Homo-oligomer: A and B are copies of this chain.
Amino acid sequence: MPRERSTTRKAKAAETRAALLEAARRLFSERGYLNTKITDITAAAGRATGSFYEHFASKEELLTALLAELEDAVDAHVVAMEHPREHDLTDRDQLRDHLAAAWTVMRDNRPVAVALFQAMVADDPGSGRAWRDLREQTRTIREHLEYLVERGHRLPGDPELVAAAIGAMLLTLNYALLKTPDSPDDDRVVETLTDFTLHGLAGPPAPSQSVRPPDAPPAAPTTA
């Protein structure tokens, strides 16, 4: 009789590994990645310090494992979508869907989002890691923007830069709003970011093609 209570004797290791990952998630979310020590993780997992190194060489490696899990989950979720680059981000619904997806992933995986963001910023500024991470995480957006440019659309600037700007906004705002209480609810944030990204401060052109009712007053005239 191989495994009865999920313990094939040897597969018990996987249990410890899982416990460590789970504890890490909890602590990363609460105290943050940088302030969580390896000893904190093992203690929270009810394991000895030494056991940690049987599974991970370092905290960074554990984070990598966490990230791999996340990517698997995301892949499984997007498996049916294919996600070609032929999306028109100047279409409000499509834009909102993209931003909402990004936002939801960050919210549903708070520990990883926190850890990645902190790790990105903690590295030496000259290392270029921040830029690299930002580029990677905005790949999809960038490709969509490049597609727009190819179709003749005029963007505010280089797609790479614009995509990075949007990503910077998303990542940092998400992090800042993690504070436990009274954050604006996710829907409102996504709607705001959508409208801002789509039309900026100036607001939509004359005939409101947004979802909003037409009771919005016109743009303010110039001032001092």
Contact = CB atoms under 8 A, between A and B. Distances in A.
B179 A131 contact: yes
Contact of A155 (B32, B155, B189, B203): B203
Interface in A61-92: 84, 86-91
Q: Count this chain's copies in the assembly.
A: 2
Interface in A158-176: 158, 161-162, 164-166, 168-169, 171-173, 175-176
A220 B126 contact: no
Interface stretch (A8-16, A17-25, A48-56, A113-121): A113-121
Contact of A168 (B148, B154, B157, B176): B176
A121 B125 CA distance: 13
Interface in A93-147: 95, 114, 117-118, 121-128, 130-131, 134, 145
A185 to B, nearest CB: 11
Given A30-B124, A90-B201, A220 B153 contact: yes
A125 B179 contact: yes
Nearest to A127: B179
A152 interface: yes
Question: Which of A91, A201, A212 has the most chain B CB within a 10 Å cutoff?
Answer: A201
A203 B156 contact: yes
A192 B157 contact: yes
B87 A223 contact: yes
A202 interface: yes
Given A84-B224, A176-B134, A217-B153, A35 B165 contact: no
Contacts of A192: 156-158, 161-162, 165
23 contacts: A31-B124, A34-B34, A34-B122, A84-B224, A86-B223, A86-B224, A95-B201, A121-B175, A126-B180, A152-B220, A153-B219, A156-B193, A156-B201, A157-B191, A157-B192, A158-B184, A164-B173, A166-B169, A168-B171, A197-B200, A198-B200, A202-B205, A205-B206
**Which 8 A-B residue pairings sit nearest by Cβ, starting from the closest?**
A157-B192, A156-B195, A168-B172, A128-B179, A200-B200, A154-B216, A156-B196, A153-B220
